[in-house]
């Protein structure tokens, strides 16, 4: 007898999250056959001229220039939203899945009579929580209304952090019983690695991020210049991007594979990312999994896991002197670096694992399926 099926709808890798979610669904629901549907590969042809015409219709050129990229606006059009929904419904009606699961909220695959579970790291209006965000860059209300319908139609909205849960309730009037914070896991395996404690003596600061300016790179460089006045042997390692800067004791690595990242964590004394806008920030969880103290911004999900004066510090990224002061404090004390790194590790080892996230998702989904007798 053929297995009953569940469907996982996604867009690309979602910063490696989608592969982890796929594993969660396979491992926690072995009684079902999982089908993975990628919006761009299986439902929508990105070369469809109607996608681009609809974008030009919905957004004037000056308005588009305010967005991050043209494609960001393409999948925030009514045409894209309705087209995905139509084609997903055709597939769901044919296959009759037990439930559907989607990551992110750029589309809505909910279907009458079939539970749909959503998992996301952000809402669009959560941008209002970030001091550095320009309100003029918010998408129009017609898009926000579509986004609101995604959350309203979901059986459960799984979130990665408290501030996203708060945004769903405050900005989208989502009832509490429809929201569940299940956190997130590290893309770096959490193990009891026997690191050489001498790395805390190296005075090496690690920055890891692709978006140099958004992640607070320029502010870190200015703070680093101050740090070197007190600690001339301090070094800065930049991984993930290649900014055009020329300062002493700075190594620019650029993009590396996920498997190569751990070597840079293992050589660092402090992880610092004074990001100005951050939906979640899995790199902070990765840093803690490698027993590094963290210096970050007090925004988004970061206060959920950076415990002030215990596992690291949060600062205003524009306060260069405070950022430099915290860096000097930690780099001058290998013992404190080790202590804070251990505290961060102990937090994420028990709470921020994909196994833990999967367990909470499984409990919520099974509870609902049992309640409506769909199993």
Do 36 and 178 lie in a common domain? yes
| Best-predicted range by mean pLDDT (17-21, 45-49, 369-373) | 17-21
Q: What is the mean pLDDT of residues 249-261?
A: 90
Do 246 and 322 lie in a common domain? yes
Report CA-CA distances (Å) from 375 to 2, 5, 118, 369: 15, 11, 19, 6
Do 176 and 250 lie in a common domain? no
Do 274 and 362 lie in a common domain? no
> Who wins on pLDDT, 80 or 257?
80
Q: The domain containing residue 249 runs over which residues? A: 197-351
Q: What is the pLDDT of residues 358-373, one digit of tens each?
A: 999 999 999 999 987 7
Domain membership of residue 152 (yes or no) is: yes
- Residue whose structure tokens are 């109607």: 50
| Bridge partners for 265 per DSSP | none
Q: What is the pLDDT of residues 25-37, one digit of tens each?
A: 999 999 999 999 9
pLDDT above 70: residue 69: no
Domain membership of residue 191 (yes or no) is: no
Query: How many domains is the chain partitioned into structurally?
Result: 2
How much is the pLDDT for 188? 62
Q: What is the mean pLDDT of residues 319-342?
A: 97
Do 94 and 175 lie in a common domain? yes
Do 227 and 120 lie in a common domain? no
How much is the pLDDT for 215? 94
Domain membership of residue 192 (yes or no) is: no
Do 100 and 147 lie in a common domain? yes
Torsion angle in degrees (nearest 10) through CA of 307, 310, 315, 320: -160
Mean pLDDT of the chain: 91
CATH code of the domain containing 253: 3.40.50.2000
């Amino acid at each position: 007898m053929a297995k009953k099926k569940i469907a996982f709808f996604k867009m690309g890798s979602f910063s490696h999250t989608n592969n982890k979610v796929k594993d969660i669904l396979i491992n926690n629901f072995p009684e079902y056959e999982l089908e993975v549907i990628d919006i761009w590969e299986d439902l929508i042809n990105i070369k469809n001229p109607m996608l681009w015409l609809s974008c030009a219709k919905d957004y004037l050129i000056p308005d588009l220039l305010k967005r991050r990229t043209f494609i960001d606006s393409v999948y925030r059009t009514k045409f894209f939203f309705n087209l995905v929904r139509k084609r997903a419904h055709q597939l769901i009606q044919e296959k009759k899945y037990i439930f559907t699961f989607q990551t992110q909220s750029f589309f809505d695959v909910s279907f009458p009579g079939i539970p749909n579970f959503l998992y996301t790291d952000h809402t669009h209006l959560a941008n209002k929580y970030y001091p550095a965000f320009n309100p003029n860059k918010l998408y129009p209300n017609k898009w926000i209304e579509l986004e609101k319908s995604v959350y309203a139609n979901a059986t459960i909205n799984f979130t990665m952090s408290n501030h996203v849960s708060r945004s769903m309730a405050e900005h989208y009037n989502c009832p509490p019983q429809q929201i569940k914070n299940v956190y997130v896991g590290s893309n770096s395996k959490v193990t009891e690695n026997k690191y050489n404690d001498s790395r805390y003596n190296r005075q090496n600061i690690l920055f890891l991020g692709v978006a140099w300016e958004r992640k607070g790179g320029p502010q870190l460089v200015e703070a680093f210049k101050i740090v070197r006045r007190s600690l001339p042997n301090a070094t800065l390692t930049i991984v993930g991007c290649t900014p055009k800067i020329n300062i002493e004791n700075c190594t620019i690595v650029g993009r590396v594979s996920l498997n190569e990242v751990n070597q840079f964590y293992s050589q660092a004394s402090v992880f610092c990312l004074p990001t100005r806008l951050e939906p979640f920030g899995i790199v902070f969880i990765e840093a803690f999994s490698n027993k590094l103290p963290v210096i970050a911004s007090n925004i988004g999900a970061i206060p959920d896991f950076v415990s002030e004066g215990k596992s690291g510090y949060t600062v205003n990224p524009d306060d260069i002197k405070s950022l430099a002061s915290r860096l000097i404090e930690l780099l001058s004390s290998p013992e404190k670096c080790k202590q804070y790194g251990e505290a961060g590790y102990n937090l994420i080892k028990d709470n921020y694992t994909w196994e833990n996230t999967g367990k909470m998702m499984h409990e919520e989904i099974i509870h609902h399926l049992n309640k409506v007798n769909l199993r």
